A and B are shown apart, each in its own frame.
Chain A
Amino acid sequence: MIANYGYKDGSGEYYISIDTDKCIGCTAARACLTACPKQMFEIITDDYDDEVAWIKKPNCRTLAYDCADCKPSGGYTSLPCITACTPGAIKHSW
């Protein structure tokens, strides 16, 4: 399942997509949990009883601001969460 967390507002579309098929049985030791400086990722048991990562609810409404520090303007050349997720489950829409 592709789970899109985030929103669209007047300034753009801000979604983090998590491919749960790649997330189940993570081969990166859940590195997303520690890679994100804002600790936005959390492991939950989804409706199909699979342990997967999601974005914490309060962060889903503030992604544009929460992720800003990790974007190129914050001095990063690649996003820490995407780099840490070696199975390639995480994508940003912006």
Chain B
Amino acid sequence: MITAGIDMGSRSIKVVLLEELKVDGAPQLKYGVKKAHIMMPGDLDQDVAADKAYDEALAAAGLKRDDVKVVFATGAGRKQVGFATEGITEMTAGAKGAVFMYPQARTVVDVGAEEGRGMKTDGEGRAIDFAGNEKCAAGAGSFAEAMSRALQMTLKEFGEASLKSDKSIPMNAQCTVFAESEVVSLIHSSTPKNDIAKAVLDAVASRVCAMVRRVGIEGEVVLIGGMVHNAGFVQSLKVAMGVDAISLPDMPEYISALGCALIAADRQH
């Protein structure tokens, strides 16, 4: 049986096709992820982009639409996926995917482009507590991206620059708009770019950490979402949360889509 999970994020669309493997005598079901991780820029109309991403994922996996039993969608634009059988929240999908990858995970932190959120999960990947920030972008990837643009750096350079600084410059502004003005002030006062980058990522980490602390930090911590690729942010988050290690999946932006496909498969039993 093949199921599909589509994560309609604000900046990109992720598709995972999951095949349930039949292993005789195995204590539990095993799954294989088909070679179909497609990431589309979100600059098309969402429904058009969803269709395109899904078709490309199917083509990459050598499948047809009829081969897929059910399609579940998650993410901010999940309602735009007209061909999805069901839509599920980012919390439920993220927790499921993270625990599938890391069975000991009990705290899941999801930081994507639009929003950051913290989830507490049980051993089956069921979200038991969650908190997000419905209003503010300051705890999300778009904020880091906007600040890296202000420093005329790529996101990768921005993260690496942050790791070269050992200064802690507090950013007082909570709002992205005012924070950018603070960054401009720091540039004008000749503050090294490395220190500014660390100040920004420390600020994002602090906002995200506040959400995670609402649900409590327990067991193994897993970070999912595109911000995993930002090494500076990961370091800042470790310090803010006061943990020695954070588990980082190889393809962090696909974990919610994976969780979605797993839930779709579960519901068929």
Binding site for B on A (CB under 8 A): 1-10, 13, 15, 46-48, 57, 60-62, 93
Contact = CB atoms under 8 A, between A and B. Distances in A.
Q: How large is the interface on B (under 10, 10 to 19, 20 to 34, 35 or more residues)?
A: 20 to 34
Contacts of A7: 133-136
B210 A8 contact: yes
Nearest to B118: A4
Given A6-B134, A13-B214, 20 more contacts: A1-B129, A1-B130, A2-B129, A3-B129, A4-B129, A4-B131, A4-B132, A5-B134, A6-B135, A7-B133, A7-B134, A8-B207, A8-B210, A9-B135, A10-B174, A10-B175, A47-B88, A48-B126, A60-B134, A93-B214
Nearest to A2: B129
A1 B132 CA distance: 14
Nearest to A6: B134
A48 B89 CA distance: 10
Contacts of A47: 88-89, 91-92, 263
A1 B175 contact: no
Nearest to A1: B128
Contacts of B173: 10
A40 to B, nearest CB: 12
List the 5 closest A-B pairs by CB distance, nearest first. A7-B135, A4-B131, A60-B134, A10-B174, A47-B92
Contacts of A57: 134
B73 interface: no
A2 B92 contact: no
Interface of B: 88-89, 91-92, 126-136, 173-175, 207, 210-211, 214-215, 263
Nearest to B86: A47
29 contacts: A1-B126, A1-B127, A1-B128, A1-B129, A3-B130, A4-B130, A4-B131, A4-B215, A6-B135, A7-B133, A7-B134, A7-B135, A7-B136, A8-B133, A8-B136, A8-B174, A8-B211, A9-B174, A9-B175, A10-B173, A10-B174, A13-B210, A15-B214, A46-B89, A47-B88, A47-B89, A47-B92, A48-B126, A60-B134
A48 B128 CA distance: 11
Max chain B Cβ within 10 angstroms of own Cβ: one of A3, A6, A47, A61:
A47
Contacts of A8: 133, 136, 174, 207, 210-211
Contacts of A61: 134-135
Max chain B Cβ within 10 angstroms of own Cβ: one of A4, A9, A13, A61:
A4
Contacts of B91: 47
Contacts of B214: 4, 13, 15, 93
Nearest to A58: B134
A57 B135 CA distance: 10
Contacts of B175: 9-10
A52 to B, nearest CB: 12
A81 B175 CA distance: 30
A81 B231 CA distance: 43
B8 to A, nearest CB: 16
Given A1-B128, A4-B130, A10-B174, A60 B135 contact: yes
B53 to A, nearest CB: 22
A5 B211 CA distance: 11
A3 B207 CA distance: 18
Nearest to B74: A47
Contacts of A6: 134-135
